[in-house]
A = this chain, B = another copy of it.
């Protein structure tokens, strides 16, 4: 925490509240929220209540869910009513989704019929859709306004809008006709019409589009806000870039979790219960454990080979690990490239051809190095060394090709490529590499 905040913390502890009030209003909302989260509940509410109303709403948004809940439970009806009126619509929806039922009830009691209808509509958008992210506080303009009129309109109606930096030009049926940035408005001749300076070839998203696609649109066009339209291209809301930054993190976390064979979860690690964590991890571990028994069965089938040359067993971990690692490298690169839109379905042969060449280089290098090492350092007989290294080469090639293809197949089947990552590939590659190993050993060692 910043020094100045620690100073305020001291003042609060010493109950010098008038001084606190004088100082605190000069702080950033983020810092005030940080301060409040470090207080006991009674003090927290006291400090929250001494904030000017506008600032209070802003600070509220930066508090964690736990404190939001406590504050709503503690403030009076008039204060709640004010909060509801002032909160941006998307923040309110987020709040309603996070709060327990009794708090939701308390909040909804203070909304009017109109609002409640709208809230219901928003709560019904699918999770992770553009609709669930958007807000309704935007500035709309008409194309026959002059820029002077447009600026006056913004000055009059802009106060409660989430952004005024991009304004949306709509016709009488609310159909989106174009956008104009505040920048363009400010920098143009005030006598021009909005129509003359608005952009018509614009990026927009659909209410039911997935948030991952929305994020891709933001990245492609370098936007600070995107309009959301319904099937008739009527403007229904906007999404701002700060929410998209969160979406990008969320989507990445999901990929990380899936790639490590876990059910994805949005909750923060330290806030997640032990049972939930265990549940999220268990399903995939069971599936993979059972699949790994296939590998065990292969070993059983080739028991005779192992019994006649016991030292072969010692190389199984190295072969399995290297195969798994080589495969997971390719899988990770391909999964990530698909997620960033750099690889499309049609690139499958390009990818295979690339991985084939890479894997031959990598496989040969590893096999060669390993041969030298086990011959010279471990003094392993040359035919065993050869069996190990031939297997190593083919395992690496196989692992890299499988690692690259599986995510692309998943994509084709409309599954998430991220599940075709390290754990699954390890299991597939393990079994095949052991079959290669024992078959090669049989030939080379005359078993």
Chain A residues with a Cβ under 8 A of chain B:
4, 26-28, 30-31, 151, 154-155, 158-159, 163-165, 182-183, 186-187, 199-203, 218-224, 241-242, 244-246, 248-249, 252-253, 255-257, 259-262, 268-270, 274-275, 277-278, 281-282, 284-286, 288-290, 292-293, 295-297, 299-300, 303, 306-307, 310-311, 313-318, 320-322, 324-326, 328-329, 331-337, 340, 342-343, 347, 350-351, 354, 357-358, 361-362, 365-366, 369-370, 373, 378, 396, 422-423, 426-427, 430, 434
Contact = CB atoms under 8 A, between A and B. Distances in A.
A343 B270 contact: yes
5 contacts: A165-B165, A256-B335, A261-B329, A300-B311, A325-B426
Given A245-B219, A245-B244, A270-B350, A182 B186 contact: yes
Question: Looking at chain A's contact residues, is the secondary structure mostly helix, strand, loop, or mixed?
Answer: helix
A310 B317 contact: no
A225 to B, nearest CB: 10
Contacts of A256: 255-256, 259, 332, 335-336
A286 B315 CA distance: 15
Given A317-B299, A321-B426, A326 B285 contact: yes
B358 A281 contact: yes
Please provide the 10 A-B residue pairs with the shortest distance between their CB atoms, ordered closest to farther: A260-B332, A295-B317, A292-B318, A222-B242, A278-B361, A296-B314, A269-B337, A28-B201, A292-B321, A274-B357
Contact of A151 (B186, B248, B289): B186
Contact of A296 (B203, B218, B315): B315
A214 B310 CA distance: 56
Contact of A288 (B223, B315, B325, B378): B325
Given A329-B260, A361-B274, A299 B313 contact: yes
A151 to B, nearest CB: 7
Nearest to A354: B274
Contacts of A164: 183, 186-187
A362 B288 CA distance: 14
Contacts of A277: 333, 354, 358
A206 B202 CA distance: 35
Contacts of A270: 337, 342-343, 347, 350-351, 354
A293 B281 contact: no
